[in-house]
Amino acid sequence: MWGQIGINTTLPSAALDVNSKETTADTRAFEVNNSDALQLLKVQNNGNLGINIGTVPASDILHATNDIKHEGLPVLQLPYNALAINSSGAAGVSPAVTKYFYFKRSAAFADYSLFDPNVYTNIPFSDGADVLGNTVGFTFGTDATGTVNGQPVSNIKYLVIPEPGVYLFEMYQTAYCNNLPAVSSNTGQVMLKTVFGTAGTTGSAYAVNTVSMDYMIPRRNASGAISATSYSYANPQKLIVAYQSTVANEKVALFINYAGGDKFTSEVCSMNKPAGSDNFGYLIVTKL
């Protein structure tokens, strides 16, 4: 009378109303097969839809094999990705999350010498109040003894990269040495390297990956005024490196290394706080 057809129901509520025969989750209320009796499309009792998945039950609301073509979707702007796929193959729209590590040093890193290119001094990074953000999930450790470029170094404080990927390291600090150098050269300055080293997942032999060289300008006091007996000006030391980690839990560490010029044989060199600054240097790492 109303032009409605009911299958497994005496009261159809639509032009075609199909009810399942059974109540199990994978009972098929609707099924389409091809000429070879292969299932192409099925709707299960639990509402899951399967397309080209064969006889296995559909495990999600939409469970399909092969490519799916979408047209006319809205274009989403940052911080959103148009499409995200999780490890189980489920698709959805998801915000893009930037993973980062932010360390701002609140105390001076002091008492090292600058005179021998074979001596490496570790730049320490430890967990605590100086860690202002760590969504990348870095962990910390200490090697009581180790080597850098084959040279012995003690008390190496390192960072552990938890997962493979490309990471942008940006470190900034300022260095000074209190008093005149023990040995003067004709350069009138100290050449200082900042070294980025890696040691795999369990080793303590750090290989040099990247070196950044800067200079310490003499004859300046902490305020920048000319002084005949001072190396106390805040001399910027920078390191920027994009590093690709290919294994989980890889160890990385940073070091200071003398490169040339005037020499300070006693431990009178430090990482200082520039005038007007609130920190003794920082490290920012971003997972790209």
Give just the sign of the alpha carbon dihedral 237, 242, 247, 249. positive
Contact 32, 42 (CB under 8 A): yes
Q: Are strands 16-18 and 5-7 parallel, antiparallel or unpaired?
A: parallel
**What pLDDT score does 42 carry?**
86
Total-model pTM: 0.68
**Identity of the highest mean pLDDT range in 52-56, 66-70, 116-120, 233-237:** 116-120
**What pLDDT score does 213 carry?**
94
Residue-wise pLDDT tens digits, 59-71: 888 888 877 777 7
| Distance (Å, whole) CA 259 – CA 192 | 5
Tokens of 206: 């750090």
Tokens of 261: 């010029």
List residues bridging with 284 in a β-sheet: 102, 170
Contact 239, 210 (CB under 8 A): yes
CA 107 to chain centre: 25
Tokens of 216: 């310490």
**What pLDDT score does 284 carry?**
97
| Distance (Å, whole) CA 197 – CA 255 | 8
What does each C-alpha distance from 119 to 63, 115, 122, 207, 246 come to in angstroms?
60, 8, 10, 14, 29
The yes-or-no verdict on residue 230 having pLDDT over 60 is yes
Residue-wise pLDDT tens digits, 161-172: 999 999 999 999
Residue-wise pLDDT tens digits, 16-45: 888 887 777 778 888 888 888 888 888 888
Residue-wise pLDDT tens digits, 82-116: 666 666 666 666 556 789 999 999 998 889 999 99
* Residue 26: exposure state from Cβ atoms within 10 A (0-12, 13-18, ≥19): middle
Q: Which residues have C-beta within 8 Å of that of residue 238, sequence separation ≥ 6?
A: 171, 172, 194, 212, 214
Contact 63, 50 (CB under 8 A): yes
| Distance (Å, whole) CA 86 – CA 79 | 18
Nearest Cα residue to 24 out of 54, 50, 57, 62:
57
**What pLDDT score does 125 carry?**
95
With pLDDT > 70 as the criterion, what percentage of the chain qualifies?
A: 90
Residue type, 168: L
Query: Chain-wide mean pLDDT for the chain?
Result: 88
